[in-house]
A and B are shown apart, each in its own frame.
Chain A
Amino acid sequence: MNQKTMPHTHITAKRGLFDLHPGEFWEYRDLIFLFVKKDLSIVYKQTILGPLWLVLNPLMTTLVYTVVFGRIAKLSTDGIPQILFYMAGNAMWSFFSESLIGTAGTFRTNAHLFGKVYFPRLTKPVATVITSAISFLIQMVLFSFFYIYYAAKGMVSTEPWRLLLLPVILILMGGMALGCGIIVSSLTAKYRDLAVAVGFGVRLWMYATPVVYPLSTATEGIMRTLLLINPVTQLMEAFRYCILGTGEMIPAGCVWSAVFTALVLLLGIVVFNMTEKDFMDTI
């Protein structure tokens, strides 16, 4: 016989601002894992090249960036080989934008699932971010091959200890994308028009972030201030600082990015919690 103590659930009409149940979330860690596994595996079922797309996709993008921004527009890369510069920028930005766009659709794309069974709703967007992080890491493996090639030729170098920063950057980047994404997803549960805005909003955001160009292109003036207000800027630069050895580390920028992430995540969770209780009635 079952000797476990009976869990008690209390359901009311009232909603708390932070109705989070971390314990419950932890109980569902297997679900997060399975969501990630599912997301990763179904994309490549019944395809010719299968998981090769994970590599092919960034490779093609890098080539196009190299031609358009490197050869034609002749944008600076801080002396870094263009292939490496664009591959790194694209990988990091893809992680951010995939996480953001993916989580922004949480309520709409899972309406059916959420309407039929209860589980901590936050597991779904968290799984989305982890999925993007895994595809980012795969791209990093590809990147490392190119890096070794260029490093052997003495064209790029970084200090190994800087790699310790990478997890921090990833967590901040993922947290920010998650926070923004779940705010949007909560709003789109009620207002559909925001869903349209997210797609091109994120595309515009990329050009407002030093992705295909370094922060050093803007040394002073309003442009630089605007770039630094963008909380993603410092994270992109820190990422390049950590794997390419260039990029600027501005202490104020780092603090701003961390604070912004914490705020947007907090706000996101509150809004998400308020929405999840009865979004089924409005969606």
Chain B
Amino acid sequence: MEMDVPYAIKISGVKKKYRLGQIGGGSLVAEVQSRWARLRGREDPNQRVGAKNLTRGDVMALDGIDLEIGQGETIGIIGANGAGKSTLLKIISRVTSPTEGEVDIYGKVASMLEVGTGFHGELTGRENVYLNGAILGMDRAEVTSKMNDIIDFSEIGEYIDTPVKRYSSGMYVKLAFSVAAHLDAQIMIMDEVLAVGDAAFRRKCIDKMRALEQQEGRTILCVSHNMETIRRLCDRCVVLSHGRLVFDGDTSDAIAEYMGISGVFSRHCEYPEEMHRPQPNRRLVIERADFGESFAGQCEEGGTIDFSVTMRGYEHNPGDYDVRLRADMVNSFGNISGMMFSDVVYTLRPGETVTLDVGMDCEHLTPGVYQVSLYAYTLSDTGDMTMLDMIDNAFVIEIISGGFPERWYKNWDGRLRLHKLSVKAVQHLVKGTI
């Protein structure tokens, strides 16, 4: 689709300020009282005692965002909770207005900040499709012409004329998503809506979005906490942090940036006692992890990484523990690919410091960067883990391909390469001619 507009969306210097705490007096009387007092230069009767000289707490949900999105681009927005992702989408969707800055949009926008907005339980599926379609900006003729496609896509079938309150939650979201997916808009804005239904339906949704983008040149903006969705759908990705745009570029790099996986490999990692740990009541301190001088952070598929871990037991330990080690392998999707557990490593005695030589067998790990978290724990009789110390993101390693002829496609082939299929015998039922 060739258009003479250079971009679909242009965001310039957008800021959004939210006030913390209660807004206004809460009631009209209180507000009038406050205004009247201010007018006469008196003290505000509704102000908290002692709060006089404090300015009201403001928070910048968005603190100057500049972003240009081209026609037909598929762009992901990622960031921690509260980074401003949803606020940005709300401003582009015109649900709320910016405090400062401007947004220019060329093309009809369909925003899905939620699936099934405006669905009413008493109405049938079909009636809701019309209503929801109209809310999202479709007219009746348009909905009618797409009704069959919508029903097909949603897999609802004959239930379309049943009130949606009788639907299972899965059916409900499937129908709702189908409506949104069939909108005839040049720009689609999605906030976490691809996380609907079962795995098969989710995949179908992403494929549908992909197809819209490729065949019809739709521009798609997508917010998700699911890195897999972002990776499959988006070519470009921006990372928001505290209302600012901190990264803009290739999706893989953006995800790596966001996950903190882009960390540089270090041969000697120290974990000082005052470093933040997820679990405060620890019994020992993992002090450091060291790699051999010849190791550069990379390991071929199927190889083993050797390193040493030094830990010290606290003086005030109530008793002896059988210490075990655990390593969580967090992949670049932000998911745990798998964990490795050790047998009993040694028995911890108060005040003791030990260094362990550890071998990490990377047999099943597929190529990519992994963030390794290192935990020391002990097991109860019933198999429950008691954490002795936890180091999140202890170090970063990279598995490089080698040793296997097949190329590994993470998006489709999974995260771990399992054992080889063993073919025990070949029986020829019909002999070939040559």
- Given A6-B186, A31-B134: A117 touches B95 (CB 8 Å cut-off): yes
The residues of B that contact A28 with a CB separation of less than 8 Å are 134, 137
Interface size, chain B (Cβ < 8 Å):
51
A6:B3 contact, CB within 8 angstroms? yes
A118:B94 contact, CB within 8 angstroms? yes
Tell me the smallest distance from the CB of B186 to a CB of chain A, in Å: 7
A114: nearest chain-B partner, CB-CB: B95
B97 at the interface (CB under 8 A from A): yes
The residues of A that contact B163 with a CB separation of less than 8 Å are 45
A13:B98 contact, CB within 8 angstroms? yes
Tell me the smallest distance from the CB of B144 to a CB of chain A, in Å: 11
Tell me the smallest distance from the CB of B203 to a CB of chain A, in Å: 25
The residues of B that contact A42 with a CB separation of less than 8 Å are 120, 122-123
A117:B113 contact, CB within 8 angstroms? yes
B86-103 CB mask vs A (1 if < 8 Å, else 0) is 000011111111111111
The residues of B that contact A37 with a CB separation of less than 8 Å are 127
B417 at the interface (CB under 8 A from A): no
A35-61 CB mask vs B (1 if < 8 Å, else 0) is 101100110011000000000000000
Q: Which of A8, A30, A193 contacts B105 (CB 8 A)?
A: A8
B106 at the interface (CB under 8 A from A): yes
A191 at the interface (CB under 8 A from B): yes
A56-96 CB mask vs B (1 if < 8 Å, else 0) is 00000000000000000000000000000000000000000
B95:A8 contact, CB within 8 angstroms? no
- Given A42-B122, A117-B136, A194-B28: A280 touches B96 (CB 8 Å cut-off): yes
**A11–B127 CA distance with the chains assembled, in angstroms:** 32
Interface centre among A34, A38, A45, A113 (most CB of B within 10 A): A34
A6:B106 contact, CB within 8 angstroms? yes
Query: Considering the complex, which residues of chain B in the window 10-58 have a beta carbon less than 8 Å from any beta carbon of chain A?
Result: 18, 23-24, 26-29, 31
A9:B94 contact, CB within 8 angstroms? yes
Query: Considering the complex, which residues of chain A in the window 159-194 have a beta carbon less than 8 Å from any beta carbon of chain B?
Result: 187, 190-194
A278 at the interface (CB under 8 A from B): yes
A252 at the interface (CB under 8 A from B): no
The residues of B that contact A31 with a CB separation of less than 8 Å are 134-135
Query: Considering the complex, which residues of chain B in the window 111-130 have a beta carbon less than 8 Å from any beta carbon of chain A?
Result: 111, 113-114, 117-118, 120, 122-123, 127, 130
Q: Which of B26, B93, B97, B108 contacts A117 (CB 8 A)?
A: B93
The residues of B that contact A282 with a CB separation of less than 8 Å are 23-24
B61-101 CB mask vs A (1 if < 8 Å, else 0) is 00000000000000000000000000000111111111111
The residues of A that contact B111 with a CB separation of less than 8 Å are 117-118
B131 at the interface (CB under 8 A from A): yes
A39: nearest chain-B partner, CB-CB: B120
A15 at the interface (CB under 8 A from B): yes
A2:B186 contact, CB within 8 angstroms? yes
Tell me the smallest distance from the CB of B129 to a CB of chain A, in Å: 11
A10:B104 contact, CB within 8 angstroms? yes
**A10–B5 CA distance with the chains assembled, in angstroms:** 14
A205 at the interface (CB under 8 A from B): no
Tell me the smallest distance from the CB of A113 to a CB of chain B, in Å: 5
Tell me the smallest distance from the CB of A122 to a CB of chain B, in Å: 14
A113:B135 contact, CB within 8 angstroms? yes
The residues of B that contact A281 with a CB separation of less than 8 Å are 18, 23, 96
Query: Considering the complex, which residues of chain A in the window 1-23 have a beta carbon less than 8 Å from any beta carbon of chain B?
Result: 1-2, 6-13, 15
B315 at the interface (CB under 8 A from A): no
A201 at the interface (CB under 8 A from B): no
B348-376 CB mask vs A (1 if < 8 Å, else 0) is 00000000000000000000000000000
- Given A2-B186, A11-B103, A117-B135: A192 touches B27 (CB 8 Å cut-off): yes
A199 at the interface (CB under 8 A from B): no
A113:B93 contact, CB within 8 angstroms? no
A280:B140 contact, CB within 8 angstroms? no
The residues of A that contact B137 with a CB separation of less than 8 Å are 27-28, 119
B107 at the interface (CB under 8 A from A): yes
Q: Which of A11, A13, A15, A193 contacts B94 (CB 8 A)?
A: A11
**A193–B186 CA distance with the chains assembled, in angstroms:** 43
B3: nearest chain-A partner, CB-CB: A6
B5:A119 contact, CB within 8 angstroms? no
Tell me the smallest distance from the CB of B252 to a CB of chain A, in Å: 31
The residues of B that contact A7 with a CB separation of less than 8 Å are 106-108
B27:A193 contact, CB within 8 angstroms? yes
Tell me the smallest distance from the CB of B173 to a CB of chain A, in Å: 14
B101: nearest chain-A partner, CB-CB: A13
The residues of B that contact A30 with a CB separation of less than 8 Å are 134, 139-140
**A6–B27 CA distance with the chains assembled, in angstroms:** 44
A153 at the interface (CB under 8 A from B): no
The residues of B that contact A117 with a CB separation of less than 8 Å are 93, 95, 111, 113-114, 117-118, 135-136
**A118–B89 CA distance with the chains assembled, in angstroms:** 12
A11:B117 contact, CB within 8 angstroms? no
**A72–B73 CA distance with the chains assembled, in angstroms:** 75
A113:B118 contact, CB within 8 angstroms? yes
Tell me the smallest distance from the CB of A40 to a CB of chain B, in Å: 12
**A202–B26 CA distance with the chains assembled, in angstroms:** 23
B95:A116 contact, CB within 8 angstroms? yes
B95:A12 contact, CB within 8 angstroms? no
**A35–B139 CA distance with the chains assembled, in angstroms:** 13
**A193–B29 CA distance with the chains assembled, in angstroms:** 9
The residues of B that contact A187 with a CB separation of less than 8 Å are 28
- Given A116-B113, A118-B93, A190-B24: A9 touches B104 (CB 8 Å cut-off): yes
- Given A30-B134, A113-B118, A119-B135: A11 touches B91 (CB 8 Å cut-off): yes
**A119–B136 CA distance with the chains assembled, in angstroms:** 7
A13:B28 contact, CB within 8 angstroms? no
The residues of A that contact B28 with a CB separation of less than 8 Å are 187, 191, 193-194
**14 residue pairs from A and B, CB less than 8 Å apart:** A6-B106, A7-B107, A9-B94, A11-B92, A13-B98, A30-B140, A35-B131, A41-B122, A41-B123, A112-B117, A194-B28, A277-B97, A278-B97, A282-B23
Instruction: Give the top 8 A-B pairs by smallest Cβ distance, nearest first.
Output: A11-B103, A118-B94, A31-B134, A191-B28, A9-B105, A116-B117, A6-B106, A42-B122
* A-B contact sample (5 more), CB < 8 A, given A45-B122, A115-B113: A13-B98, A31-B135, A34-B130, A41-B127, A191-B27
Residues of B at under 8 Å CB distance from A? 1, 3, 5, 18, 23-24, 26-29, 31, 90-109, 111, 113-114, 117-118, 120, 122-123, 127, 130-131, 134-137, 139-140, 163, 186, 216
